[in-house]
């Protein structure tokens, strides 16, 4: 190890960015503060739980997706924009630098500790036409693509704007409610679900609130329905063995969670779902110098079940990874990760949300306000929280005066 340890973090989402910020704040011996490098293929962090607010224009891109350069200003964290290509196998004797990451542009970055937080993607190869004709909803680009398409349709003379949303999990339901509130009587929205109920993983209270919100907005829900094919202006729906071709202007694809393909090239042992197997200390099996967290890591709870892929989990894990990386570099014992389920929140249109957790169940405008405040508190860096909070306080006044 060189005199100053080098920590390299791959992926600047909920797992990676928050690990970097916490590592930067830990107490390091004088002269021993490590070189922390954060690598992401994007220039901006994305606070995904608030992405829906871009559909209705309730929030702006800079609030939800601040640039890494801005968030890391004033810290000792170096940001490198680049896509991860390869992690050399330690048993590969021909590689000149075993402890280094290679980016697609050929840059090599050495490390003493590596943190993997590359997240997941929405797969687009299960049905013909998905990659060519649908919009997913995971990134800032997806939200802008949807907005651009809606603007064109809103400016046209067509009476109805027909939208099919495939997948009635959290993303599908939340997108449907926001779209309905944006398009109002012009929207004709269909939610397509292969299972026999919406939100199979949600609490009953949240599912019932979601059903009510969908009904109030006139959103049609197709249960036990599969998709046969998608074209530029239609979607094929299979229900009880019969296929119907429905004309549509937009298809949103929100089904599935596939580990970032870069993981496959890293030479690590993966579980059946392609996730990185880690110990309870969040260390990659057989590679104690590498830590993994978030959607890409397979972590077992004490009851033997895998913990869910959520921002809440990645955020909690970032505390443990930062602490354990610090401990491993300062000869202290590492802590086992324990997940605390704080409940779940969903936004169900303008000024409407639902939440349940920690013995509390709430829906309507009060849940909407609570969700907003919780997320404001969770935004990265105090400076960004203050900027966004100030904007929320002053926006109504600006709108009134303009
Ligand atoms: C629309 C939406 C709403 C959500 N709402 C909620 C919610 O309300 N509550 C909740 O708990 N969870 C929510 N989630 C889930 C949550 O976003 C994820 O569980 C969480 O982001 C996982 O964190 P992560 O760090 O593992 O991955 P991510 O946050 O996805 O970060 C991964 C990062 O890695 C980068 N990356 C990927 N591949 C490469 C590569 N090859 N090279 C370089 N960089 C790369 C990506 O650009 C990204 O910045 C939502 C997800 C979506 C899509």
Q: Is residue 73 part of a domain?
A: no
**Ligand 1 centroid to residue 14 C-alpha, Å:** 6
Q: pLDDT tens, 101-113? A: 889 898 999 999 9
> Using CA atoms, how far apart are residues 16 and 24, in angstroms rounded to an integer?
12
- Hey, whose CA ends up nearest to atom 42 of ligand 1? 83
Q: Is residue 56 part of a domain?
A: no
**Ligand 1 centroid to residue 294 C-alpha, Å:** 8
Least confident of 32-36, 269-273, 362-366: 269-273
Q: Choose the final residue of a domain: 253, 285, 314.
A: 253
Identify the residue with better confidence: 32 or 204: 204
**Ligand 1 centroid to residue 101 C-alpha, Å:** 21
Where residue 139 sits, what CATH number does that domain have?
3.50.50.60
List, as own/partner pairs, every contact residues 358-362 make where C-beta atoms lie below 8 angstroms and the sequence separation is at least 24, other chains included.
361/205
Q: pLDDT tens, 254-307? A: 998 888 887 877 778 788 888 999 999 999 988 899 999 999 999 877 777 788
Q: Are residues 247 and 136 in the same domain?
A: yes
Q: pLDDT tens, 305-322? A: 788 899 999 999 999 999
- Structural domain boundaries enclosing 140: 130-253
Q: Is residue 57 part of a domain?
A: no
Q: Choose the final residue of a domain: 275, 294, 329.
A: 329
Q: Are residues 244 and 262 in the same domain?
A: no
> Using CA atoms, how far apart are residues 104 and 310, in angstroms rounded to an integer?
28
- Hey, whose CA ends up nearest to atom 6 of ligand 1? 49
Cα three-residue angle 366-193-187, rounded to 5 degrees = 60
H or E stretch at 364: strand 360-364
Q: Choose the final residue of a domain: 227, 253, 279.
A: 253
Q: Are residues 216 and 182 in the same domain?
A: yes
Q: Which atom of ligand 1 is nearest to the CA of 45?
A: 49
Candidates 37, 79, 310, 348: which one to mutate for ligand 1, based on the most atoms within 8 Å of Cβ?
Answer: 310
pTM of the complete model beyond 0.85:
yes
* Domains identified in the chain, total number: 3
Whether the CB-CB separation of 101 and 93 falls below 8 Å is answered with no
Q: Which residues line ligand 1 (CB under 6 A)?
A: 11-16, 39-42, 48-49, 51, 83-84, 117-119, 137-138, 171, 260, 262, 294-296, 309-312, 314
Q: pLDDT tens, 140-157? A: 999 999 999 999 999 998
How long is the chain? 402
């Amino acid at each position: 190890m060189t005199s100053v340890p080098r920590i390299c973090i791959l992926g600047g989402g909920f797992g990676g960015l928050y690990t970097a910020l916490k590592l930067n704040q830990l107490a390091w011996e004088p002269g021993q503060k490590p070189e922390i490098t954060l690598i992401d293929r994007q220039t901006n962090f994305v606070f995904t739980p608030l992405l829906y607010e871009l559909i209705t224009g309730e929030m702006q891109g800079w609030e939800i997706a601040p640039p890494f350069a801005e968030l890391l200003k004033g810290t000792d964290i170096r940001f490198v924009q680049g896509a991860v290509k390869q992690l050399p196998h330690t048993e590969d004797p021909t590689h000149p630098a075993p402890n280094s990451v290679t980016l697609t542009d050929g840059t090599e970055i050495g490390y003493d500790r590596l943190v993997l937080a590359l997240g997941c993607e929405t797969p687009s190869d299960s049905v013909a036409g998905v990659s060519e004709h649908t919009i997913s909803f995971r990134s800032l680009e997806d939200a802008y693509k949807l907005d651009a398409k809606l603007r064109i349709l809103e400016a046209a003379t067509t009476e109805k704007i027909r939208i099919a949303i495939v997948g009635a999990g959290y993303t599908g339901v939340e997108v449907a409610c926001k779209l309905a509130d944006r398009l109002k009587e012009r929207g004709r929205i269909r939610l397509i679900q292969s299972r026999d109920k919406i939100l199979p993983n949600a609490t009953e209270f949240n599912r019932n609130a979601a059903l009510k919100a969908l009904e109030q907005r006139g959103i049609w829900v197709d249960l036990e329905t599969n998709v046969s094919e998608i074209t530029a202006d239609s979607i094929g729906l299979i229900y009880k063995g019969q296929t119907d071709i429905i004309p549509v202007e937009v298809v949103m694809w929100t089904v599935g969670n596939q580990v970032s393909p870069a993981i496959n090239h890293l030479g690590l042992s993966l579980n059946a779902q392609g996730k990185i197997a880690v110990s309870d200390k969040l260390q990659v099996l057989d590679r104690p110098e590498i830590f993994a967290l978030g959607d890409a890591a397979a972590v077992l709870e004490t009851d033997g079940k895998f913990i869910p892929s959520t921002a809440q989990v990645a955020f909690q894990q970032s505390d443990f990874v930062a602490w354990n990386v610090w401990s491993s570099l300062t000869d202290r014992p590492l802590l086992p990760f324990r997940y605390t389920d704080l409940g779940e929140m969903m936004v169900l249109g303008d000024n409407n949300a639902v939440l349940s957790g920690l013995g509390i169940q709430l829906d309507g405008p009060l849940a909407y306000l609570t969700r907003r405040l919780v997320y404001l508190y969770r935004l990265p860096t105090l400076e960004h929280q203050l900027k966004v909070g100030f904007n929320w306080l002053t926006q109504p006044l600006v709108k009134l005066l303009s």
